[in-house]
Amino acid sequence: MNFLSTFVTFKNLHEVRRLCHWGPIIALSVIAICSTMAILDSIIWYWPLDTTGGSINFIMLINWTVLILYNYFNAMFVGPGYIPLGWKPENQQDTQYLQFCRGCQGYKAPRSHHCRKCNRCVMKMDHHCPWINNCCGHLNHAYFTSFLLLAPLGCSHAAVIFIMTMYTQLYERISFGWSTVRIDMSAVRQFQPLMPFSVPAFAATLFALGLALGTTIAVGMLFVIQMKVILRNKTSIESWIEEKAKDRIQHYQTGEEFIFPYDLGSRWLNFKQVFTWSGTPRGDGIVWPVHPKCHQHTLTIEQLKQKADKRVRSQVQYRAVEDYNGACCPLSKGLQTFFRTPCTEEPRIPLCKGDTILATRGTKWWMYGDKVLSEEQLRAGDRVRGWFPRRCVEKCHYDTAASDTTSDKKVN
């Protein structure tokens, strides 16, 4: 009991709750279905104890499953690494280059971002992944990317097993008219399978084949996207910040030259910042090696400039003309609003008639913005922002004085 208590702590149990989410449930179900069907079909198709090829095939299949689960659970439970609550830089003068996070009551370290799902500032945050129900960041980026590589490889192997099983079992039962397609079946026919290949088995194999092919394509594309940013020592968020920096410079014609500070100039050096033999990435998640022409706060200064630019461009004020309860897909707001709901985990904000919102972006049917709060709520550090149906609001017509007052109240 004492041995178990060293592992089963409150913190561990809290982390285990990450499994109780639709993302991990679907991901682990796909892994379980593909792995189980591949093992059963490999026994039917290529008995592992009869030939060397069958043994190698079976061992490789087990190996894929173990490696996929190892990297998946590490990505989930190791986590991205979080900035300590209330963190401040050692040099107090550096605070002028950093953003303050009201949620964590501290400053955001370079490359960190606040995740609304995790409710913490995440080290080198790439994105919040629903499939692992955790953020992908500094500490688990290598595990997450390895999982994205191994899953398509394992599913490709499983797909071959599914196809060969169906072919061998249907070879003599159904005439496909493929007179030119012949595969040597002498090796696999040396053993009569213990399990009959019935119609339900065929249907299950066909279903598993669809899952394996779909996973190979979808996860394979995600792996390519991740490797593109890793080889440039970026994250998905930083790629977006770099694009906005170029747009800002071009819009205002400032003549600045923005150099991404964390690209070390070599793909191999960038690769080694994430992948190491020990599995632990280099660095402490706060101080980073930078380009010779840059410094630690080059990117954070650019983020502050973009925040200021956003405040200038986002002074479009709207007033709620309909109540909205914050539903993800509100059928009462029309079919187009129902079917065109944003495909994102960003929150929806409930509205009451008369509420004022500062919109920052939107689509034809939905808008995203900050609700203007009372003085008491602002002093308490509250912030309410998210999506709401466009039909629930109308653009305000206000004078310059009202605009200036609203600008002063807006929270960064």
CATH code, 336: 2.30.30.40
Average pLDDT, the chain: 86
- Summarised one tens digit per residue, pLDDT across range 182-215 is 555 555 445 545 556 778 888 999 999 999 999 9
Q: Is 216 helix (H, G, I), strand (E, B) or coil?
A: helix
Of the candidates 200, 210, 219, 214, the one whose C-alpha atom is nearest the C-alpha of residue 163 is 210
Query: Do residues 323 and 367 share a domain?
Result: yes
The answer, yes or no, to whether residue 398 has pLDDT greater than 70, is no
Give the per-residue pLDDT at 228: 95
Residue 51 placed within a domain:
yes
pLDDT grade for 167, boundaries at 50, 70 and 90: confident
Give the per-residue pLDDT at 216: 97
Residue 22 placed within a domain:
yes
The answer, yes or no, to whether residue 4 has pLDDT greater than 80, is no
Residue 207 placed within a domain:
yes
- Summarised one tens digit per residue, pLDDT across range 208-248 is 999 999 999 999 999 999 999 999 999 999 998 999 898 88
pLDDT grade for 13, boundaries at 50, 70 and 90: low
Residue with token string 């690209």: 263
Q: Which residues are catalytic?
A: 129
- Summarised one tens digit per residue, pLDDT across range 93-120 is 999 999 999 889 999 999 999 998 899 9
Q: What is the torsional sign of CA 72, 76, 77, 83?
A: positive
Domain of residue 56: give its range: 13-80+138-232
Query: Do residues 294 and 331 share a domain?
Result: no
Query: Do residues 288 and 150 share a domain?
Result: no
Which of 273, 290, 311 corresponds to the end of one domain?
A: 311
- Summarised one tens digit per residue, pLDDT across range 348-362 is 999 999 999 988 888
Residue 125 placed within a domain:
no
Whole-prediction pTM value? Answer: 0.80
Give the per-residue pLDDT at 406: 42
Residue 118 placed within a domain:
no
Give the per-residue pLDDT at 170: 77
Q: Mean pLDDT: which of 160-169, 209-218, 255-264 is highest?
A: 209-218
CA distance 228 to 236: 10
Q: Is 106 helix (H, G, I), strand (E, B) or coil?
A: strand
Query: Do residues 53 and 184 share a domain?
Result: yes
Provide mean pLDDT across the span 130-141: 95
Domain total in the chain: 3
Provide mean pLDDT across the span 268-279: 93
Query: Do residues 74 and 165 share a domain?
Result: yes
Query: Do residues 278 and 357 share a domain?
Result: no
Which of 254, 284, 311 corresponds to the end of one domain?
A: 311
Query: Do residues 171 and 210 share a domain?
Result: yes
Contacts by 73-77 with C-beta closer than 8 Å and gap 24+? 74/140, 74/143, 74/279, 75/129, 75/132, 75/134, 75/136, 75/140, 75/143, 75/144, 75/147, 76/18, 76/19, 76/24, 76/132, 76/133, 76/134, 76/140, 77/15, 77/18
Provide mean pLDDT across the span 132-144: 96
Query: Do residues 168 and 305 share a domain?
Result: no
